[in-house]
Amino acid sequence: MTATSTERTIGRDRRGRAHPAVLLLPTLLLVVLALPALFLFGAGQITVPAAMWASVVGLAVLEIATLLVPWRRLHRDWVAVIPVLAIIAIGLFRVGTGGSSSMFSVIILLPIVWLATLPGRRMVVYGIAALVVSFLGPYFVGLEDWGNGQIVRVVFVAVVIAAVAVVVNETTHSARARLKEVASLSQERARLLEDAERGRRELAQTAEELSEAEAFATSIWEAMDNEAVIVTDRRGGIVGWGPGAELLLGYDMIDIIGVDGAHRGQESVGDLFVPRTLGLSGPDDTVAPTAEILPRLVEVGRSVGQGEGDLLVRSVDGVEIPVYLTCAERRVGDEPVGYTFVVRDARHLKEITRLKDEFVGTISHELRTPLSSILGYLELVMEEEETLSDDQKRFIGVAERNANRLLQLVGDLLFIAQVEAGKIPLQRETIDLSSIASASGESILPVAERAGVTVQVELPEEPLQLHADARRVGQSIDNLVSNAVKFTPAGGSITVAVGQDDGHAVVTVTDTGMGIEPDDLEQLSERFFRSKMATRQAIKGIGLGLSITKAIVTAHEGTMSATSTVGEGTQFRIAIPIRQG
């Protein structure tokens, strides 16, 4: 056993309580000290030596037993046995040293107080019972006479000692409850301190993360100088003005949101845009109310084309700049708090598009002349058939077909360039759309029969007349029908339907072909675009047919749209306003 464990065994336990042997030791010492007082100084008399020595030996044996008992393994109430036996032993010592008149009766207070300090009021009951046995035992067994006059003093002393025991028990009970409460409060305080420390660490970590996030957001915000980022509240009032906005529009941040937002040069994001480009201004270009401008800006910013570069903003110098617009709603939790607008300068892209179209137009013109010359000479050569061999005729025929294909391609490119430049030549006249659609269906029949595809044309009972270019409208329908045949496997069908819808003449071409993937639908009308399905199936084409069709429909102020399901088929729809010449 180590020094530490020995000290804990004979001193105090883990809860700080004194060992029973320590508490019994003062009682034993007082009894032992009483012996010299009796023998050397004559303090009292020895009436029953056997009882006196039995008390001394009993207390000594009890002290030794107390040291040997493993109290940690026993219930705490078992410790009450020690003071009860000590009280009985002192009763014997009292009998042996004068009985009722013994001066050593006061020693009994020590085990009584010890017993009273143990938890539970029953300990007081045990103590009083042992006290009665000790003080009145001699009277019960006849060692003393009930009429010797000492009975009154004995009873009074016993009552006083019992009262002391009750007081001590109640005091220790209150002290124990208070200590328990203090311990509970101490634990709660420790828990609160621990929670506070944990909260402090979490707060410090959150503050650090917030600082890093703020620095990251600030670096992104300051780096976005190629795009104008404008942040607004729910009413459209500007609350954030990025560096790119300063570069594009020329307004300083202070001019827009002031110092700490106290003054704004521009009350609303709508003040920056030219109203006529939003379709909200009157003939005199008057500004529409903000309540109308903000929803329109949000609508344009969320549209696919994002304004198509035709939306105009006005700089601090009054310059009107074409832009693309993107809009996203700002939220805090589930609550909308405003919008973030991203404005991109469209001047560079528009210039690139203009130069590209100009290049295509120029190349088309430059190619058309030599191709026409080549075809002319090929025709002259073919007129001398008698002088040509069969191989020569075949070679010239191949050259002529390819030259015609190139000439047709040049014509298509030139036509698209003219459309995008707003210079498309249309020969408008009153036409019957039904007869044009019927002619397209008849023209494709030989090709459809070879492909194993059926073609059906559905026409209204009455002619459907409109003011349009018959050749171009027919070309657009031919392109749609031709595409449908190419992308429909053998055994499939194609339906060409003509009708009216909301003042528009409508032609739909529906097939049961392989369909178009969703990602490709938005790009179908781009020049030279080939869908993934066409590429995988190695279907011939250069990707201009739908571009030309859309260009023709757009030139007639109409619209073209498509819906498709992969593996089930596709439907193209063109709608042209009905206007009489």
> Quick one: 79 exposed, middle or buried, by C-beta within 10 A (0-12, 13-18, 19+)?
buried
Phi-psi region at 263: left, alpha or beta (left = phi > 0; alpha = psi -120 to 50): beta
The pLDDT value given to residue 127: 83
Tell me how far the alpha carbon of residue 40 is from its chain's centroid: 93
Query: Greater confidence, 146 or 339?
Result: 339
Residue 275 sits in the same domain as residue 404: no
Closest CA to 127 of 162, 91, 163: 162
Q: Answer yes or no: is pLDDT of 435 > 70.
A: yes
Banded model confidence at residue 509, pLDDT cuts 50, 70, 90 = very high
Residue 381 sits in the same domain as residue 530: no
Percent of the chain with pLDDT over 70: 82
Q: Answer yes or no: is pLDDT of 61 > 90.
A: yes
Looking at the DSSP assignment, which residues form a beta bridge with residue 321? 313
Q: Answer yes or no: is pLDDT of 264 > 90.
A: no
Residue in the structure block whose two tokens are 């260009």: 551
Q: What is the pLDDT of residues 305-328, one digit of tens each?
A: 566 667 888 888 888 888 888 888
Among the residue ranges 29-43, 92-106, 258-272, 452-466, the one predicted with the least confidence is 258-272
The pLDDT value given to residue 307: 62
Banded model confidence at residue 85, pLDDT cuts 50, 70, 90 = very high
Among the residue ranges 58-67, 283-292, 443-452, 486-495, the one predicted with the least confidence is 283-292
Q: Answer yes or no: is pLDDT of 302 > 70.
A: yes
Residue 77 sits in the same domain as residue 123: yes
The pLDDT value given to residue 523: 55
- The mean pLDDT of 454-477, rounded to a whole number, is 88
Residue 282 sits in the same domain as residue 360: no
- The mean pLDDT of 258-279, rounded to a whole number, is 67
Closest CA to 245 of 234, 232, 233, 235: 232
Banded model confidence at residue 482, pLDDT cuts 50, 70, 90 = confident
**Given 140, 172, 188, which residue is the final one in a domain?**
188
Residue 544 sits in the same domain as residue 491: yes
- State whether residue 283 is helix, strand or coil: coil
- The mean pLDDT of 377-386, rounded to a whole number, is 76
Residue 93 sits in the same domain as residue 29: yes
Phi-psi region at 567: left, alpha or beta (left = phi > 0; alpha = psi -120 to 50): left
Which CATH number characterizes residue 301's domain?
3.30.450.20
Residue in the structure block whose two tokens are 């001398």: 384
**How crowded is residue 436: how many other Cβ atoms within 10 Å of its Cβ?**
21
CA angle 272, 276, 279 (to 5 degrees): 110
Q: 230 and 240 in contact (C-beta within 8 Å)?
A: yes
On whether residue 197 sits in a domain, the answer given is: no
Banded model confidence at residue 62, pLDDT cuts 50, 70, 90 = very high
Q: What is the pLDDT of residues 404-430, one digit of tens each?
A: 777 777 776 776 666 666 566 778 888
Query: Greater confidence, 170 or 491?
Result: 491
Banded model confidence at residue 11, pLDDT cuts 50, 70, 90 = low
Which CATH number characterizes residue 536's domain?
3.30.565.10
Pairing of strands 335-345, 228-233: antiparallel
Q: What is the pLDDT of residues 227-256, one digit of tens each?
A: 888 888 888 888 888 888 888 888 887 777
On whether residue 350 sits in a domain, the answer given is: no
b/e map 372-395, b = 16+ CB within 10 Å: eebbeebeebeeeeeeeeeeeeee
Q: Answer yes or no: is pLDDT of 543 > 90.
A: no
Residue 434 sits in the same domain as residue 416: no
Q: What is the pLDDT of residues 116-161, one digit of tens each?
A: 888 888 888 888 888 888 888 777 767 777 767 677 777 777 788 8
Which strand (E) or helix (H) includes residue 107?
Answer: none
On whether residue 490 sits in a domain, the answer given is: yes
- Is the pTM value of this prediction over 0.75? no
Q: Answer yes or no: is pLDDT of 514 > 60.
A: yes
Residue 200 main-chain phi, psi, to 5 deg: -65, -45
The pLDDT value given to residue 508: 92
DSSP-derived secondary structure for 187-248: HHHHHHHHHHHHHHHHHHHHHHHHHHHHHHHHHHHHH--SSEEEEEETTS-EEEE-HHHHHH
Please give the residue range of the domain that contains residue 137.
Answer: 3-188
C-alpha distances (whole Å) from 207 to each of 217, 218, 419 are 15, 16, 58
Among the residue ranges 402-416, 477-491, 526-540, the one predicted with the least confidence is 526-540
The pLDDT value given to residue 112: 86
Residue 562 sits in the same domain as residue 533: yes
Closest CA to 473 of 503, 420, 442, 429: 429
Looking at the DSSP assignment, which residues form a beta bridge with residue 574? 507, 560
**Given 172, 188, 204, which residue is the final one in a domain?**
188
Q: Answer yes or no: is pLDDT of 258 > 50.
A: yes
| Mean pLDDT rounded to a whole number for the chain | 79
Residue 443 sits in the same domain as residue 469: yes
- State whether residue 56 is helix, strand or coil: helix
Structure-token pair, residue 313: 């903003």
- C-alpha 167/C-alpha 156 separation (Å) is 17
Q: Answer yes or no: is pLDDT of 64 > 50.
A: yes
Q: Answer yes or no: is pLDDT of 349 > 60.
A: yes
On whether residue 17 sits in a domain, the answer given is: yes
On whether residue 56 sits in a domain, the answer given is: yes
Structure-token pair, residue 539: 């279907």
On whether residue 215 sits in a domain, the answer given is: no
- E strand spans, 424-578: 428-432, 454-458, 465-469, 493-501, 504-511, 559-565, 569-577
On whether residue 199 sits in a domain, the answer given is: no
The pLDDT value given to residue 497: 92
- The mean pLDDT of 47-52, rounded to a whole number, is 86
Structure-token pair, residue 339: 């919008």
Residue in the structure block whose two tokens are 């073609």: 455
**Given 318, 345, 372, which residue is the final one in a domain?**
345
H, E, C per residue of 15-30:
CCCECHHHHHHHHHHH
Residue 497 sits in the same domain as residue 528: yes
On whether residue 204 sits in a domain, the answer given is: no
Please count the structural domains in the chain: 4
Residue 389 sits in the same domain as residue 322: no
- C-alpha 546/C-alpha 524 separation (Å) is 7
- C-alpha 39/C-alpha 159 separation (Å) is 31
- C-alpha 83/C-alpha 72 separation (Å) is 18
Residue 129 sits in the same domain as residue 252: no
DSSP-derived secondary structure for 163-188: HHHHHHHHHHHHHHHHHHHHHHHHHH
